[in-house]
Amino acid sequence: MISACGATEPSTDPQTELTSQRAAMVRQIEQHVRETAPYLGRETLNPRVVEALATTPRHEFVPPALIERAYEDRPLPIGNNQTISQPYIVAIMTDLLDLDEDCIVLDVGTGSGYQAAILASLCTEVWSIEIVPPLGRAAASRLDRLGYANIAVRIGDGFAGWPEHAPFDGIVVAATGEALPPPLLAQLKPGGRMVMPVRGKYGEILVVATKDENGAIETRDIMPVRFVPLTRDTAGD
Is residue 231, in this structure, part of any structural domain at all? no
pLDDT tens digit sequence for 93-135? 999 999 999 999 999 999 999 999 999 999 999 999 999 999 9
Share above pLDDT 70 across residues of the chain, in percent, rounded to a whole number: 93
Alpha carbon of residue 231 to chain centroid: 17
Output 173 or 9, whichever has higher pLDDT.
173
Least confident of 160-164, 207-211, 213-217, 231-235: 231-235
User: Domain for residue 58, yes or no?
Assistant: yes
Mean pLDDT, rounded, for 75-92? 95
Q: Is residue 166 part of a domain?
A: yes
- To the nearest whole number, what is the mean pLDDT of the chain? 92
Is position 109 within any domain?
yes
Q: What is the pLDDT of residues 41-72, one digit of tens each?
A: 999 999 999 999 999 999 999 999 999 999 99
Are 197 and 180 contacting, i.e. CB atoms less than 8 angstroms apart?
no
Whether 152 shows a pLDDT value over 70: the answer reads yes
- 6 found inside a domain: no
Dihedral sign computed on CA atoms, order 130, 61, 97, 88: negative
Specify the pLDDT at position 200. Answer: 84
Confidence at residue 75, expressed as pLDDT on a 0 to 100 scale: 95
Strand order in the sheet with 203-211: 151-155, 125-130, 104-108, 168-173, 188-200, 203-211, 217-224
- Report helix angle 47-55 to 14-35, nearest 10: 150
How far is CA 224 from its chain centroid?
17
Whether residue 196 is contained in a domain is answered as yes
Q: In total, how many domains does the chain have? A: 1
Q: What is the pLDDT of residues 195-209, one digit of tens each?
A: 999 998 889 999 999
CATH number at residue 113: 3.40.50.150
**Comparing 12-16, 78-82, 89-93, which segment has the lowest mean pLDDT?**
12-16
**Model confidence, pTM:** 0.90
Which of 125, 95, 134, 89 minimizes the C-alpha distance to 107? 125
In a domain, 44, yes or no: yes
106 inside domain: yes
Q: Judge contact between 236 and 230, C-beta under 8 A.
A: no
User: Which of the residues are catalytic?
Assistant: 85
pLDDT digits (tens, 9 = 90+) for 5-45: 455 455 467 788 999 999 999 999 999 999 999 999 999 99
pLDDT value for 14 = 78
pLDDT (0 to 100) of residue 12: 64
Tell me, what's the pLDDT at 3?
A: 44
What integer pLDDT is reported at residue 1 of this predicted model?
A: 42
Q: Please give the residue range of the domain that contains residue 205.
A: 14-224
**Per-residue model confidence (pLDDT) at position 2:** 42
